[in-house]
Amino acid sequence: MKNILIGLVFSILWASASVATKFGVQSASPLILANVRFFIAGILLLGFSYGFKKDSAFRLPNRNEFKQLALFGFMNTTLYLGLYVCAMKYTAAGIGSLAVSTNPLIIVLLSAWWLHRKPAKAEWLGIVLGMAGVAVATYPLLKNSFTTLTGISLLLISMLTVSAASVYYASVKWELPNLLINGWQVMLGGIFLLPFTAVFSDFNATHWDLTFWGSVLWLSLAVSVVGLICWFYLLRIDTVRASLWLFLCPLFGFFFAWWLMDEPVTVYTIIGTVLVIAGLYAGQKSKLQSIKK
């Protein structure tokens, strides 16, 4: 029951990120929103790790580890989340949540190239179904300006980037605790994003209002801290079963988008979501069978 509750909390928080981002970009330039979020989350994670954890494993990274953290932070935070928050200015919140759910499928493709791992037939089927699902759900939203081609392009690039970051993360033999890894990569990613924020953001158009701070605090505390703690807990219990909670993210994502943003839920939405969930299941089928055995 405890694992189920934590899994539900993770799915809800993870799915809420796109809606929270959508609210935030109404008050500030996307990169300003992202940078403030990264620094708050980084300070909290590192402060908790070094201030309250007495384990000797919670130490400063060495030079080689800093290089690994910097590369991971640049891919996972600067590029992925930087592009994602920009994409959400031009993309429906529900589509943002649906696209994030396809990460495991894109990781299969990148793993085949990077780690020389041949995808199974079920995984190829999952990729096709997942991409088709996003396309179907997006189609009607392109007509009514809830989503634009610019937003979809930025979103797809961000999905490729975070998938590459995940494959890189899996290729490194980390000796640091997960909390430290996440804290450092978020903080370093925020530092790398600062020059882009300074050049491309309109600070005069930023409204430091309740909507902005509500969005930032939710993304920092609920998603980046609580959500990731739940995710790391689920990964520690069982990596494959943890990934199954991603199946619920599109459902919660479209619900939040409909409830809070008045985004339409159409037949295309339902068909697209079903295709993505079917794709995720197909992509995980071989692993699920090995669990049963």
**What does the alpha-carbon distance between residue 277 and residue 275 come to, in Å, rounded to a whole number?**
6
Highest mean pLDDT among 106-115, 257-266, 274-283: 257-266
pLDDT of 27 strictly over 60: yes
Q: How far apart are CA 28 and CA 104, in angstroms?
A: 31
Instruction: Output the pLDDT for position 293.
Output: 52
278/131 Cα distance (integer angstroms): 11
Query: Using 50, 70 and 90 to split pLDDT, how confident is the model at 169?
Result: confident
The closest of 173, 158, 199, 180 to 75, measured between CA atoms, is: 158
Q: For 213-231, what is the mean pLDDT? A: 90
Q: What is the mean pLDDT of the chain?
A: 86
235-244 per-position pLDDT tens digit: 777 666 676 7
pLDDT surpassing 70 at residue 291: no
- In 88-119, which positions are buried (b, 16+ CB within 10 angstroms) versus exposed (e)? bbbbbbbbbbbbbbbbbbbbbbbbeeeeeeeb
Of the two residues 123 and 77, the one the predictor is more confident about is: 77
DSSP for 181-216, please give it. HHHHHHHHHHHHHHHHHHHH--GGG---SHHHHHHH
pTM of the model as a whole:
0.84
